[in-house]
Each structure stands twice: as structure tokens, then as C-alpha cells.
Chain A
Amino acid sequence: MKIMLQFELKKIFHKQVNKIVLFILAAVVLAGSCLAIRDVWYYREDGSKISGLSAARQLKKEQDKWKGYITEDVLRRVVEEEKAARVSSAGDEVLFKIQGYDDIRDMINIGFSEVGDYDYYMCGNITPDEAAGLYDRRMLRIKEEIKASEEKAGTALSEKEREYLLNQYESLKTPLYYEYAEGWKALMDSQYLSTLMTITIVIIGFLVSGIFSDEFRFKADSIFFSAKLGRNKAIGAKIKAGLVAITVVYWSAMLLFSAIILLALGFGGAGRMIQTGRNFSSIYNITYFQFWLFTLLGGYIGTLFILMLAMFVSVKSRSAVVAITIPFALSCAPMFLGRIPAMTYIMNLFPDMLLRINWYVEEYLIYEIGGKVFRGYSVLIPIYLVLFLGMVPVLYYGYKRVEVK
């Protein structure tokens, strides 16, 4: 079985087109990580700005001044400093002064803005005492958000759902801890990770879509199926080869992307809660490191399901070209279809959601099943894991029963 697997992997990785797409993926990983690093900005005193590694170093010095728990006193100080900075500086010079606590500003801005709105200047428009009540304000805000979302959807949340959301908010341990986390933020809060996941899944689609259909394309099917193990172990080896290719390429791309960014910008802030910044409203009470792990694992399950489906389509259609369209269609099309209001609910259940966990982690996606309420991803991840596992025998028996006409 091991040798059979080695040959199947050789078939995949020796194909010219597959070598090309892997080269493209490596280039995308490098380019994406460089862009993510470049997106870290540091503002000098005169308002000019630098980006990249040196910016991160300077930013760390500024943010380290604010390292610690975001207590009521800290929140008061942020508002006071913000107001002072706005009075004493003009234009981009202000940014030099506020960049050390910019994420805390963000929390205040989100917390005190109108529901469905974001007021960048909110921090300077409230009193220090108001800011000190940020954590209470967060609880109040969720109630407002629930009301707004019910009005928008035209349906009310059940009592259990409402209770669940409030519980999630209440269970966030405050005060939150703040420290430099630009590496994790560049990794998780940018669009690059989910874009990379989409590109990776399409590229792995090229690798795996030929595993089964190439037997037909090369007219090697007759010999394959007339061999002793052609209708049992050899199919198992093909499925294993697909899983190995998916796993190795997916994790290589994700870990390489993460490693480049974190090595460049620093691993610091892994234990910082994701609510300390733009995900202030999230119902997922997790640290940046947990967020990273959760996003990558969810993406892996989504990738496994989508590509297993692509392999199944390649068995049924006997065409790698048709199979390649599956990862593309499932990872890209829902993004556009989801913009149609009537489609939003359905599209929230599509597997592409698993490729964009870092984007949807701040949404109130919850489902009530059998009287119990679950967060969106607590439902989607097990569902697609089960569907993926269910696809394995379907794929196996689908190929086993193939006739060579």
C-alpha cells in the first residue's frame, strides 16, 4: 500500500502542469506574505510614514508603552490622549501620537458608534468617563445589534438565541490585555489569508482532479481495473494520495505564509484576545493564537470537503477539467451570490465560509438545533467534517463500480 501510494503521489507531482501550479502557489505565498508585512505602517512625528519591518519595530516601541490590561483608567487615558493629540497636532501628525493605542481607540470607536456604523472620530467625541464604561457599553450594544438585525431580517431571534448571545458577551473576561500583536494582526486581520486559502484550494484542485480521471484520459483504466487490486486497495491508495496532496500543500502554504509574517513582525501578542481591536463585537472569546489555529483548521476541513467533492466529480464526469471547476465554483461563486439578500442565509452554510473564518468571526452567525444554540462555525466545521468523511466511501465505491466501455 505504501509503494502504491508513492506511485500515486509520483503521478501527481511529476505532471508538468502540477509543477507549474505549485510554483505559482509558492510565488503567491511569498508575494502575499510580503504584502501583508508591507501593510504595517508607522507614522513619524512629521506625519510621514514608513512600512514593513522597520515600521513594525518602531510600532512595537510605541505599543509597548500601553502594554497591560485595558482597565477603566487606561480607557480614560486613551480618550484624554486622543483629545490632546487632536488639539495639539494637525493632519497625519496626529497618527504619530495615537498609533501606540490605536487598537484601543478602535474598540472605543466600535463600542460607541451607532449600530451598523463606524465613527473613526468617536474616541475624541466622548468623555473619559463614558469610555471607562466600554465593557458595559459592549453589553448594551449587543442588545441594540440584536434588535437591529431582527428588524433587518424581519424575524425575531428566539429567547434561547438571544440568551446565548448575551452569555457569550458576558463570558468575555475583562479587562482585556493589550500588547504588541502586529504579526498576528497582519496575518489574521488582513484579506491575504482568506485570499491565499482560495488560491490554494483552486491550485490543489489542479493536483487532485486528475487522480481518478487521468486513468480514463491516458486510457490506462483497462489495465488498472483488470489488475488484482484495481478495484480495492489501488482505489484506497488514490484516495490516500489525494488526502496527502491536500494536506501537505495546504499546510505548507499556510504555515509558510504564517511563518514568514510572524518571523518578520514577531510572535508577540499570541495570547491577546481578538476582541482587542476590530473584532471587538465577536462572540468568539479566543486569543489570536487560538484564532489562527481555528481559522486554519476550519479552512483545512473546508478544503478537504471541497476537494473530495472535486475528486468525486472527476470520477463521475471522467474529466479533470470539469472537476477543476468545483473548487473554483465553491470557493469563489458564493462570495458574489451571498450579496443577494435572499441568498445570504443559504450562502452562510456553504463550505466557502470555512475559508473565510477570519472575516466572519465578528458576525453573529448562530443556529438553534434541537433546542440548543451553536455558533455558526461550531455547526459548519462538524457538518463539513462529517460530509467529508461521508464522501470517502462514496468516492471509493463510485470508482470501484466504474465500467470501462
Chain B
Amino acid sequence: MELEMIDLTKKFGNFTAVNHLNITMNNGVYGLLGVNGAGKTTLMRMLCTLLRPTGGKVTCNGKEIFAMDGEYRKLLGYLPQDFGFYPEFTVQDYLLYVATIKGIRPAVAKKRVKELTAKVGLEKAAHKKMKKLSGGMKRRAGIAQAMLNNPKILILDEPTAGLDPNERIRFRNLISELAEERLVLLSTHIVSDVEYIANEILLMKDGELVHRGTAGELIGSMREQVWKCCVEKKEVKHFMKKYKISNVKSDSHGVELRVISREKPDQNAVLEEANLEDVFLYYFGEKAGEDNAAI
């Protein structure tokens, strides 16, 4: 399975959401990392044929996806960021309905729904109305619907957003399990999600691909180093202005800062091993605020 974006561009009026993107993806898990507004969702919507590109094209095994129409969507599983459902439907009804519009034969659909509700841990909630599910359960129903047709291309837009830590870990493991033998594109601004499960990470900023590679390669691509230093509370402001700070931890003795800098920021500063969060901050700078850099 090869998905190729060729000079892919999407404009909304004067605003360019995706700018001349050229990416080729094969089987494996790809983590799409970027701050809010980087163009991740627009890109994913184009890959799901929900939006037509302003320029360029997307091909699947060499064929243009809009020309493939239903044949392409047959290969597709999609969990959108704002995952919507029909509130009066039970989980089982909802999944059976999605199976129907995915063109799965009724007998196969029933079997598949049973398998997937068990896999995502919704067996007991199968007859519950969708509107009565917790946030985590809804997301699990969402991943189940995306997997109904056993897709060759699985696109997950912010799948762990809004989940509590337990649910997130559970969800991450589930995605890893499902990732075999298919192309998975996972978009998030939660760094740890992609760090754990992505084989390759795509960094996106202002509609463009900034960098791509494994977590190690991305860390290696940083031209600055990561330092840990303890400073007094009154000095924090000064450090924040001068350096990129990837973490601030206060205690009774002062404040421990994690600083990204080419030179040693303080006499007592100790060199630290960089992680993906530092990469995120390094590439996205001020835009990668607390919210975006959350683990």
C-alpha cells in the first residue's frame, strides 16, 4: 500500500492550510505532529476524500484517490477529531449502520461488530445508547467503526484528545495492536502518543512538512542541546525570555528548568538527553505552548 501526496495544496480563501506537500507513505504507523492550526486535520480530510485539494493530488498505489471514488474509500478507516454519532442509536446499531455504509454484507457485519466490540472492550455496552457512553467509550466505539472494514489505510485524527491517562494508554495500545499490515496515520499534538507507537514522525507547521523521521532521527536533527538547571523563582521570567523552556518544575528550593539552548544557559546547568517533547518545542517554538506540549 502506497499513499503519495504530490504537491498537495489546500487553500481556504487567502489562507493556505496545506502548502505544496510531497509525502510518500507505505505500511507502518506515521505520527503527524504539529501545533493546532498546522494543517493536520485539513490534510487528513483530503486523504479521506472529504475535501478536494486546491492543487496537487493524492494517489493510492498510483491511482488518484478521487478518481478511485468508492474503491479508495473501501480501503479507508477514519476516526475524525470531532467524532460524531447518532445519539439514539445503540453501540451495536451504530456499528451495524456504519458497516452498511461501508458496503459490508449484513452477515459479515454482524460477526465483525461482535469481534470489534469485544476487542475495544464495549461488549457489555453494545446495547447502550451512544449518547450514554463516557468519552473514552465513545472513542473506542469510534476506533471500532474505523476498523469495521479491516482498512488498509487507517487515519486517526487526534484519537486520544480528551481521554484520561488510563484511557489514553489503553487506546495507544489498541492502536499499536491494530497497526499491523496497514498504513496508519495518526495525528496529534500530544507528543507521547506518537513517541510510543509511531514508526515515523512527520512534523507539520503552517501547512508544510518541517521534518520527518524516526523519534531518534528527529532528536538527532536538533542543533541545540537540552540542559537542566535550578534557578531562583525571580529568574524564571528572564530564562523564559531568553531560551526555549520545555519544562518548569517548582519546589521549595527553587525552580528546575529544562532549557533548549546551543550554549550552557547557567553555570550549574547539566546536559540532559533530549526527548521528542524537546524536539517539538525546538521546531514549533513559542506556538508549542503548555497545551500543545502536554504529555
Contacts and interface: CB of A to CB of B under 8 A. Distances in A.
Nearest to A221: B84
Contact of A219 (B12, B78, B82, B89): B82
Interface size range on B against A:
20 to 34
Nearest to B129: A14
A239 to B, nearest CB: 14
Interface residues of A, number: 30
B84 A222 contact: yes
A218 B78 contact: no
B70 A231 contact: yes
B254 interface: no
Contacts of B93: 7, 10
Contact of B83 (A219, A225, A230): A219
A404 B51 contact: yes
Given A228-B103, A228-B149, A405-B51, A223 B69 contact: no
A225 B70 contact: no
Contact of B73 (A7, A218, A228, A404): A228
Contacts of A230: 73, 101
A222 B50 contact: yes
For A4, A7, A14, which residue has the most chain B Cβ atoms within 10 angstroms? A7
Contacts of A231: 49, 69-70, 73
Taking chain B's interface residues, is the majority helix, strand, or loop, or is none over half, making it mixed?
A: loop
A154 B49 CA distance: 59
Contacts of B86: 11, 214, 218, 220
B84 A219 contact: yes
A229 B102 contact: yes
Contacts of B101: 4, 224, 227-230, 233-234
Contact of B98 (A214, A218, A223): A223
Given A227-B98, A403-B52, A14 B84 contact: no
A234 B106 CA distance: 15
B49 A225 contact: yes
Contacts of B76: 226, 228
Contacts of B80: 219, 222-223
B87 A222 contact: no
Contacts of B217: none
A222 B48 contact: yes
B135 to A, nearest CB: 14
B221 interface: no
B96 interface: yes
26 contacts: A4-B101, A7-B97, A10-B88, A15-B88, A215-B84, A219-B82, A219-B83, A221-B50, A222-B82, A223-B145, A226-B50, A227-B73, A227-B101, A227-B102, A228-B70, A228-B101, A228-B102, A229-B70, A229-B101, A231-B49, A232-B69, A234-B100, A403-B51, A403-B52, A405-B12, A405-B45
Interface of B: 12, 45, 48-52, 69-70, 73-74, 76, 78, 80, 82-89, 93, 96-98, 100-103, 106, 145, 149
